[in-house]
Amino acid sequence: MGRHKQPEIRDRILDACVDHALAHGLPGRLEPFAAASGTSARMLIYHFGTRDALLRETLRRARRRQRDFFGELVAPRPDEPYPSTLRRAWRVMTGPAGRPYLTMFGRLREDAEQRLWPDFRRESTTDWLRPFEEGMRSIGRPELATLVLAVVRGLFMDIETTGDVARADRAFEDFLAALVLLTGTQARDAHGES
């Protein structure tokens, strides 16, 4: 009688692979994932079937983590004007905690073949519309969610291409100032000042 796969072991391995991929990128071979998860390449194949299946699951789990993390950051707060929420979210998303996600998924967006996640480009756009719509709804302008998403995604790509975070930060501050004028809301800076 063969061994039964244990989902908790598979989950632990997958989490270790995600942690490794966020820190170092997706590996070309299984050995880095095996070392990161404390197992062997053979056991990775046992649990995931193929290298590409493991890479796909790693990307999907990382994306779920990103959506949860960034989604919480951009969620509207009753005690905070939404442009202030966006400012705080931007700083975290482009800071040390958020950059690994931007790097990983920026590379995936650039993959011309999209072999690991064929529909990634569409999904990576549409999955952010709803959180931004909810935020913009809090200031009465849900239709501006596409504009917010376009600016955020464009500046993320700019950072990944040029590495010029300071310039992107200035552009995002300019965007927030325009958003405040457009929506008639107030924004507070990091010190709570309007």
| Tens of pLDDT, residues 103-153 | 888 777 666 446 777 777 777 778 889 999 999 999 999 999 999 999 999
Residue predicted with more confidence, 112 or 154: 154
Alpha-carbon gap, residue 173 to 106, rounded angstroms: 22
Q: Which amino acid is at 12?
A: R
What is the separation of C-alpha 96 from the centre of its chain, rounded to a whole number of angstroms?
13
Alpha-carbon gap, residue 1 to 125, rounded angstroms: 46
DSSP SS3 for 54: helix
Could you identify the residue written with the tokens 């050995």?
31
CB 23 within 8 A of CB 63: no
Alpha-carbon gap, residue 84 to 90, rounded angstroms: 10
Let me know the angle formed at the C-alpha of 16 by 10 and 22, rounded to the nearest 5 degrees: 135
Residue predicted with more confidence, 118 or 193: 118
CB 144 within 8 A of CB 181: no
In this predicted structure, the answer to whether residue 193 has a pLDDT above a threshold of 60 is no
Alpha-carbon gap, residue 76 to 168, rounded angstroms: 23
Which tens digits make up the pLDDT trace of 20-37? 999 998 898 999 999 999
DSSP SS3 for 2: coil
